[in-house]
Amino acid sequence: MKEIKAPDYCTTLVGWRFWKIRQNPQDGILWLRSIVRPDLWPPGARFEAHGRSAPGLYEQNISPEIHSQSGIYAFKSVHDALENLDRVCYRGTFLGKVNIWGIIQRHHFGYRAQFAYPLALCLGICCICKKIVSLRAEPFAIGWAAYHFSDDFSVSGFVCEGCNEKYYSLEAETGYRELSALAERYGITIE
Ligand SMILES: [Zn+2]
């Protein structure tokens, strides 16, 4: 008989996560992307842990096991997320809320979950000076590879107002417009 594992939680929890945003070179459409793995989060569809596994391996690999590293990571609070800013390179990323459900493992930092979908984008981390910026309250820009300066100085992602003025000189409205278009496609909010 097949072993059935009871999920730790049956309801949806809200955690906090960092995302990169990436532009599809073909159509210029923006996607949310994981930080550590190069996984794109599909708009309108749940993101799955090990979503790219071969069909036969799907069921074995999908669950975040207690002693494994698998699953979709989420911090339990914005403070837990920001405390980890220096441990992984979060420059140029966005911090926001994520819905998680399915099998969920609890950790001191937060959770590892089976399924996830973004809920809101709240803060940006400047890719140059690492300033933490409120997306609702402060101007910002989104820098792309097209604006890279040289092979030695190549940054992309979220840019604070000061660094934008200094290095990019992008129009202030453009970043918010680009992000709003992304939020609309994903059906998420900017808070
Ligand atoms: Zn900056």
CA 99 to ligand 1 center in whole angstroms: 29
Tally of domains within the chain:
1
Q: Decide: helix, strand or coil at residue 74.
A: strand
CA 94 to ligand 1 center in whole angstroms: 13
- pLDDT value at residue 145: 54
Task: Let me know if residue 4 belongs to a domain.
Answer: no
What single DSSP character describes residue 60?
H
- pLDDT value at residue 52: 42
Task: Let me know if residue 8 belongs to a domain.
Answer: no
- For 70-127, the pLDDT digits (tens) are 899 999 999 999 998 877 778 899 999 999 999 999 988 899 999 999 999 999 999 8
User: Per-residue pLDDT for 189 more than 90?
Assistant: yes
- CA 155, CA 186: separation in Å to the nearest integer? 25
User: Per-residue pLDDT for 35 more than 90?
Assistant: no
The boundaries of the domain holding residue 146 are: 13-190
Task: Let me know if residue 186 belongs to a domain.
Answer: yes
CA 140 to ligand 1 center in whole angstroms: 9
The residues whose Cβ lies within 5 A of ligand 1, an ion, are: 126, 128-129, 131, 160, 163
The strand pairing partners of 159, in sequence order, are: 141
- pLDDT value at residue 136: 94
Task: Let me know if residue 5 belongs to a domain.
Answer: no
Task: Let me know if residue 159 belongs to a domain.
Answer: yes
Closest CA to 113 of 74, 61, 57, 60: 74
- The predicted model scores a pTM of 0.83
**Predicted confidence band of residue 27 (pLDDT cuts 50, 70, 90):** confident
Task: Let me know if residue 3 belongs to a domain.
Answer: no
Residue located via tokens 């979503």: 51
In degrees and rounded to multiples of 5, residue 186 shows phi and psi of -85, -15
- pLDDT value at residue 8: 61
User: What region does 169 belong to: left with phi over 0, alpha with psi -120 to 50, or beta?
Assistant: left
CA 141 to ligand 1 center in whole angstroms: 10
**Which one has a higher pLDDT value, 54 or 12?**
12
Q: Do residues 128 and 135 touch, judged by C-beta distance below 8 A?
A: no
**Predicted confidence band of residue 67 (pLDDT cuts 50, 70, 90):** low
Task: Let me know if residue 24 belongs to a domain.
Answer: yes
**Averaged confidence pLDDT in the chain:** 82
Task: Let me know if residue 110 belongs to a domain.
Answer: yes
